[in-house]
Amino acid sequence: MKITIIGAGNMGGAIAKGLYKGSLFKSEDIVCADRSENALKSISAVCPDITTTTDNIDAVKDADIVLFAVKPWILPLAIEEVKEVLDYNRQFIISIAAGIGTDKLQEMFRKEDESVPGIIYLIPNIAVEVMEGVFLYTSQNATTEQLATVQSMFSELGMAKQVEEKQMVAGTALSSCGIAYVFRYIRACVEGGVEMGFYPKDAQEIVLQTIKGAAELLMENKSHPEQEIDKVTTPGGITIKGLNAMEEAGFTNAVIKGLKAGK
C-alpha cells in the first residue's frame, strides 16, 4: 500500500513522520510532495527513506491513498493540478483542510464523466508526530474497506474516531485546536511555577508529568474528572482554594468560550 501526502508543512510533515514510525507503510511507500524544498529537506533529515518531490502530478500516480495536507485556500488549486491523473477506481482521497466538508470535496474532485472518489474528511492534531495524535473523520462515497484502512492507519498513530460530519467543527476545537489550548495551560502553569520559585525547566518537567499522569489516570479508571478531583480536595485544603480561585477568575467559562470561538 502506497500513500502520497500533498503538502509537507507542519501537519503534513507530522503525519509523514508518524507514518514513517508506524508499521502499516514501508518507508519507500511514503511520498511527500511540496513546492518548498526546505519543507522537503526537513522531512528527509528525519525520515531519509521517504521519497520527496516537488512534482505533485508525478507523486500521485502510483499512490493508493492521496492525502491532501494543504491549507484550505490552496486546496482547490492542488486538486485541479492533479485531478485528471487520479484513478478513482483504485485510489481514495483524504483531506485535512479544515472547514471543507465532504459535499464540497466531492464537487471539487468530480470529473467530467461525473465520477468521484471515496473521500475522507479528517481532522488530525500535531501530536501525530509522536504517535499520540487525535484523528476525527467523516466520509462520503468511501467503501467499508477504505474506512477500515483509515481507522487502522490513524489508530496506530494515536486515537482515530469516525464521527458525524456535523460534529467535525466541535471536534476540531477539542482536538486540533485543543492541543494549542493545552500548551497554553502548560505555559501558564510554568510561569506560575517560576513566580513561586522554580527554574522554568524544572517547572515544565513537573507540569508535563502532572498532566500526563492526570490523563493516564482518567483513561485507566474510565472516571469523570470530578471523581478524581474529589480525591485530592480535602476540606479546607489548598487544592480546593486553588480551584475556587481559578473559577472566580473565570477558568471554566474561559475554556468553553475559547472552544466555541472557532465555530
Q: Are 155 and 120 in contact (CB under 8 A)?
A: no
Residue 187's nearest CA partner among 204, 173, 175, 202 is 204
Which one is predicted more confidently, 262 or 47? 47
pTM above 0.85, yes or no: yes
Across the chain, mean pLDDT equals 95
SS3 for 101-134 is CHHHHHHHHCCCCCCCCEEEEEECCHHHHHCCEE
Q: Are 207 and 190 in contact (CB under 8 A)?
A: yes
Confidence grade of residue 203 (pLDDT, cut at 50, 70, 90): very high
List, for residues 110-158, the tens digit of each pLDDT value.
Answer: 998 888 999 999 999 999 989 999 999 999 999 999 999 999 999 999 9
Instruction: Give me the domains of the chain, ranges plus CATH numbers.
Output: 3-164 (3.40.50.720), 178-261 (1.10.3730.10)
- The CA distance from 108 to 85, in Å, is 14
pLDDT at 262: 75
Q: Which helix (H) or strand (E) holds 138?
A: strand 133-140
List, for residues 42-91, the tens digit of each pLDDT value.
Answer: 999 999 999 999 999 999 999 999 999 999 999 999 999 999 999 999 99
**Looking up cell 511514503, which residue turns up?**
30
Looking at residues 32-40, what average pLDDT do you find?
94
Residues whose CB is less than 8 angstroms from the CB of residue 262 and which lie 6 or more positions away in sequence, other chains included = 169, 172, 173, 177
